[in-house]
Chain A
Amino acid sequence: MQYAAPETTKAAVSLLAKAKGSAYVLAGGSDLLVRMKGGFIEPDLVVDIKRIKAMREVKKTASGFTIGAAVPCAELGENKALLKAWPGVVEAANLIGSKQVQGRCTMSGNLCNASPAADSVPALVAAGAKAVIQGPKGKRAVPVEQVPIGPGKTSLKKGELVESLVLPARKPRSGDAYLRFIPRSEMDIAVVSAAVNLSLDAKGVITDARVSLGAVAPTVLLVAAAARAIIGTKLDAAALDKLGAAASAACRPIDDKRGTIEFRTKVAAVLAQRAAKIAYQRAGGK
């Protein structure tokens, strides 16, 4: 195995594009190294992106936040401005693993690992985040939900990598939240998860919303029908019922030792409703 730690995105892309055998980006390594050591992959080249300065920064701009692909999740929790604007995204990122894993893992790695149970991904999807992708043919930005296309599979082409994640600017009276169900209180993989992001008008009526579910399909889902169920409401009981029904209806889960189809389908509704209530409150709704 060869290891390279380029200092620019351009150099990283060029290394990945020219690589003859199997080449992998190394961000926090909390998935990659586990898979290497387990013998599931044998990389010919590993490109460590942590020496690329631009990828180590969180930048607040007029159009929102740009989170470099090599920023460890622990750092997100320490960023007060980000926490205030996007508490749901930060709480999701800070649920990944332990403090030790937090010190290394990145949201971009969580996204590119393409697990349907990845914790930060539903929150990013609900937030309307975009992934900025750099490759041999230049730069493109896509909604994050277009990056994973199946368990362990992404839409990235050879030589491409995620350079940063962009969270949009916050409208006034907005809030987001993320919840997951795990049988333990820490250090476990989501059996079901839900994220809700919404904005209110001055009267507390929801003007727009995005609802996302994790671990109930081969990829994280953006559930438009669930968002429609609460838009135009003050999140009253009827709206919550409709939200739950739409969330359950969108589920296409598997049965495994962690949860049955029936359980996942039901809990998806409960978590979507609870996350919506938290997001509503964070947006200033009563």
Chain B
Amino acid sequence: MAVLVSTTVNGDHAEFACEPNETLLDVLRNRLALTGVKEGCGTGDCGSCSVILDGRLVCSCLVLGIEAEGRKVETVEGMAHGAELHPLQTKFIEHAALQCGVCTPGFLMAAKALLEKNPDPSEEEIRFGLAGNLCRCTGYDKIVRAVQDAAKVMRGA
């Protein structure tokens, strides 16, 4: 039986009905039309479904939609302010840190979560911080450089 869930997504109040065993990933994509979040594996291994739930980076494929009741969900759709891209988004474009783009929303959320905790990470910290995100295209180097560069901009350096 479907249940009614009331939550906050990217700062806005959101309500949806979902089955109790439906994942937050499916809810975001199929019920709230937030298709930035991607399903790569569905088992927590690839990170393409990464969102921030109450301040913590999580795989939305391993969260039930119903768990979002009363909580705050942030997705890639909430990163830009209108037409103004987030520094991470700008730097991903500048550094060509994406090819097919399927992994990109997950990397952006993971990088955002990383920089919020650690504004000046070493390359190693970035690589470990993003180890839960897989990319089949870029070979990761460009992603790491984009994150380093964005971190610099965000620190105002």
Chain A interfacial positions (CB closer than 8 Å to B): 1-3, 5, 26, 28-30, 33-34, 36-38, 46, 48, 50, 72, 74, 97-101, 103-104, 185-187
Contact = CB atoms under 8 A, between A and B. Distances in A.
Given A186-B128, A186-B131, A72 B56 contact: yes
Contacts of B113: 99
A36 B21 CA distance: 9
Nearest to B113: A99
Contacts of B114: 99
A19 to B, nearest CB: 14
Residue of A37, A97, A103 with highest tally of chain B CB at under 10 A: A103
A185 B113 CA distance: 21
Interface in B25-49: 42-45, 47
A36 to B, nearest CB: 7
Contacts of B130: 99
Given A72-B56, A98-B132, A104 B63 contact: yes
A37 B57 contact: no
B91 to A, nearest CB: 20
Given A37-B42, A186-B128, A100 B64 contact: no
A90 B137 CA distance: 34
Contacts of A186: 128, 131
Contacts of A28: 62
A74 B58 CA distance: 11
Nearest to A45: B20
A100 B50 contact: yes
A2 B42 CA distance: 21
Contacts of B69: 5
A171 B67 CA distance: 40
24 contacts: A1-B19, A1-B20, A2-B20, A3-B3, A3-B20, A3-B21, A5-B69, A28-B62, A30-B44, A33-B44, A33-B63, A34-B43, A37-B23, A46-B64, A97-B132, A98-B44, A99-B57, A99-B113, A99-B129, A100-B50, A101-B44, A101-B59, A103-B56, A104-B59
B131 to A, nearest CB: 4
Given A72-B56, A98-B47, A100-B110, A3 B64 contact: yes
Contacts of B131: 98-99, 185-187
Contact of A34 (B57, B62, B63): B62
B21 A1 contact: yes
B62 A187 contact: no
Chain B contact patch, size range: 20 to 34
Contacts of B45: 187
Contacts of B57: 99-100, 103
A102 to B, nearest CB: 8
A43 B1 CA distance: 15
Contacts of B53: 103
8 interchain residue pairs of minimum CB distance: A98-B132, A103-B56, A186-B131, A3-B20, A100-B59, A100-B132, A103-B58, A1-B21
Given A98-B44, A100-B59, 17 more contacts: A1-B19, A3-B21, A26-B64, A36-B21, A37-B43, A46-B64, A50-B67, A97-B44, A99-B114, A99-B130, A100-B44, A100-B132, A101-B132, A103-B53, A104-B63, A186-B128, A187-B131
A283 to B, nearest CB: 27
Contacts of A34: 43-44, 62
Contact of A33 (B50, B62, B132, B133): B62
Contacts of B42: 37
B43 A99 contact: no
B144 interface: no
Contacts of B128: 186
A101 B23 CA distance: 15
Interface string B111-138: 0011000000000000011111100000
A28 B63 CA distance: 8
B27 to A, nearest CB: 13
A211 to B, nearest CB: 28
Residue of B42, B58, B67, B110 with highest tally of chain A CB at under 10 A: B58
B64 A29 contact: yes
